[in-house]
Amino acid sequence: MNKFVHFFTLALLMLSLVACNNKPTPPDPEDPEIDDPTIPSTMKLFINGMGEITKDQTITLHEAEEQLSGKMQMALNGTIEGVEKVRVIVTRSVEGREDEFCALGTCAPGDGQLEQEFNFSVIGGAKTWFAHYTLPESGDTEYTVNYKFINYSRVITLTVVYDYQKLD
C-alpha cells in the first residue's frame, strides 16, 4: 500500500510539472491551410449574452470596468465551436491603442498597428475568445475594431465599436 501511495504521489507531481511547462505558444501568422475556401467549415461563433453570430455583425459597447491597475477596460467575449484552428484578422480604426485578443487558450496583445493577424489552435480544449480594449488616459476613447474570424470556408466579421460613455 505504501508503494502505491508513493507511486501515485510521484505521478501527480510529474503531471503537475508537465502542466506547468506546457505554456501556450503565440499564434502563428503563417498557417495558410486555415483559410482554404474549398474545405467546409463547422465553425460556430457565439457572443456571451447575445447567442450565435451567423453573419457579419456590428456591436457597440458603451461600458468599461476599472481594472486592478486603475485603467479602464472594455471587453467582449464568447465561444468558438466546431474548430481546432481559427485565423483572426484584426483591423483597427486608430494606431497605437492598447488592446488584446484571446482565443482557444492563447492571448495575444495588440501591436498597435492598423492590422494584425493571428492563427489560434485549440489548447487544452479551450473554446473561448475575448477582446479587450484599454481606454487611453486622456483624449478620444472611441475605437472601432473588425475581428475577421476565418475557418476554412467560413468567414464571419464582427465589428466592435468601443464607444465609452461614463455612467453617472
End-to-end Cα, the chain, rounded Å: 65
> pTM of the entire structure?
0.80
From 77, 59, 57, 62, select the one nearest 141 (Cα to Cα).
62
Report the alpha-carbon distance of residue 27 to residue 118 in Å, rounded. Answer: 5
Does the pLDDT of residue 17 top 80, yes or no? no
C-alpha cell at 59: 456591436
Of 14 and 113, the structure prediction assigns the larger pLDDT to: 113
Q: How far apart are CA 114 and CA 96, in angstroms?
A: 8
Torsion of CA 65, 138, 113, 131, to 10 degrees: 10
CA triple 77-81-85, angle to 5 deg: 95
Q: Give the residue-averaged pLDDT of 4-27.
A: 42
Confidence of residue 16 (pLDDT cuts 50, 70, 90): very low
Question: For position 8, what pLDDT does the model report?
Answer: 41
Ordered by where they begin, the domains of the chain are 26-162 (2.60.120)
